Structure 1
């Protein structure tokens, strides 16, 4: 039996849960749809993950994708109404708590490293609340306190749209992540508030200038929960080498995003992406920043996965491919679990 347990830095499973949407899937029952549920998490030896809550527009813009001669551009998403965003987030928080309750101990809401370890020892899945995009938070930041009390321990300041705190990167390839202004004054206050509370700040989806604003202001390790290397795939969503270096220099973590269009050098949305392509991306990150700063941030239920992994049940195939590529057991445990636990311990107040 493989001794490697995996903590995943990002999934969007809550949006597909029946606890949130009547048309959704029962997370406690194995499905062939989507990427993540409790049975497949167990098959994949998952110890837990950052479960994203996120607000979305009532309708998506039409004709937002433009195919260029060598890539693509997606029209910038519109800012969300904060009241509507807050209603969605409230519903998602209630849903994940209801799911944890009806799991009868098979899932546990975790707000500390101690909680995650206790869940692992009890063979339960540790659920850490993460919010992707801060649209629901008001200017006085009082709703952040409310979310913290509900268990929120990780926050992405933006998704790929603007809000009152900063600017996300529009999806495009080949493009630089330097796509616009940095954080607003409110965004800078939000960074400080997160530091004060002990909420981890996620720079995924943030444009480059916003990234450097966070780097200059934050007293915590820099973290990208789900991102890849721009040197390999020149997507706006990926991090340039200077950003990778900055994360390493703060003892932070990059969670490798398994989205094929960010892993592949050609950015094609093709699930026929061999594991060797994923391994080469991991090897690049490790050469650049060291094994202590690389982990997993799959983006399950939010992106197209490589066919050989397919879903959470396929994660052991990724670990075995890393093993074949020469990563030793200490490296694998760091990538799979230990690096996340370290950075949580350095960031959260309730360690």
Structure 2
């Protein structure tokens, strides 16, 4: 089974104590799910864990935080979360926090929307390098993207973003950013949100899957066939009606097959590239 990402999002405008309580509560829920699953769910801490789950038909979960508001300035909570299984973190959502400035939702707009990482944010990235936690670039603005690129020795990864050249939304990636991701042997996960897919930036579920596949083609051209995967973003986004929810993923795969992707490329895009990118970040 391809891995899901267990995301810990936070509501806006929370003080540190409240953010920490929510973060720890949601982390505890995943730990309880794993314990209650009788071995059917595994919180994966290594790429080897994911491969074992795929081979055995178990559900592989990766603990990810989107917006680091629940982490204290001294990063003590980061160590606690790491021991609980945290292996992926987006320093910001699309708003500012003590670690940096998220890219706001604007169309049409460049992703260059203001300051990037703060000094605390740079400390967070360095700590993630030390712990081998993947840093997700998708909600950082362009300055923050380049701050991470300068600091990290890991692959550059945007888990749910698309091509700015096709849809000029602030949340999408420029050709220069895509080139840096390719150079780092990183990854881009194609976002299913129609406002990041459509050239007109509209939230409209009547969006053909071919529009999404157009982004895949472009990203493959600019990042390489080993650097592109599915990024979904089911929670809270308007996605094409042909997909609907996770049960519609086979329809997307069928459309990709009709488009001309062979079975080897489909395996890469659906899961192999993600596992390999995580291995390059986490180690084996």
TM-score (norm 2): 0.97
Task: Report SS of the residue matched to 2:19.
Answer: helix
Aligned partners of 2:110 and 2:168 also within 8 Å: yes
Q: Distance in 1 between matches of 2:176 and 2:17?
A: 37
Task: Report SS of the residue matched to 2:158.
Answer: strand
CA displacement 1:56-105 (0-9 Å, x = unmatched): 13xxxxxxxxxxxxxxxxxxxxx531111101101101111122222222
Aligned partners of 2:108 and 2:168 also within 8 Å: yes
Aligned partners of 1:47 and 1:124 also within 8 Å: no
Q: Distance in 2 between matches of 1:176 and 1:235?
A: 7
Task: Report SS of the residue matched to 2:2.
Answer: strand
2:260 is the alignment partner of 1:260: no
2:265 is the alignment partner of 1:310: no
Bigger Cα displacement from structure 2, 195-204 vs 101-110: 101-110
Aligned partners of 1:110 and 1:151 also within 8 Å: yes
2:2 is the alignment partner of 1:52: no
TM-score (norm 1): 0.79
Deviation at 1:223, TM superposition (A): 0.1
Where does residue 198 of structure 1 map in the other structure? Answer: 132
Q: Distance in 1 between matches of 2:277 and 2:74?
A: 28
Where does residue 37 of structure 1 map in the other structure? Answer: none
Q: Distance in 1 between matches of 2:41 and 2:239?
A: 24
> C-alpha root-mean-square deviation of aligned residues, in Å?
1.1
**More helix by percentage:** 2
Higher relative contact order (CA 8 A, sep 6+): 1
Where does residue 271 of structure 1 map in the other structure? Answer: 205
The alignment of Structure 1 onto Structure 2 pairs a total of residues equal to 284
Where does residue 19 of structure 1 map in the other structure? Answer: none
- Runs of 5+ consecutive residues of structure 2 not aligned to the other structure: none
Aligned partners of 1:80 and 1:163 also within 8 Å: no
Where does residue 235 of structure 1 map in the other structure? Answer: 169
Q: Distance in 2 between matches of 1:333 and 1:222?
A: 21
Aligned partners of 1:261 and 1:270 also within 8 Å: yes
Task: Report SS of the residue matched to 1:292.
Answer: coil
CA displacement 1:205-229 (0-9 Å, x = unmatched): 1000000000011000000011111
Q: Which 4+ runs in 1 deviate beyond 6 A?
A: none
2:251 is the alignment partner of 1:339: no
Where does residue 139 of structure 1 map in the other structure? Answer: 73
2:25 is the alignment partner of 1:88: no
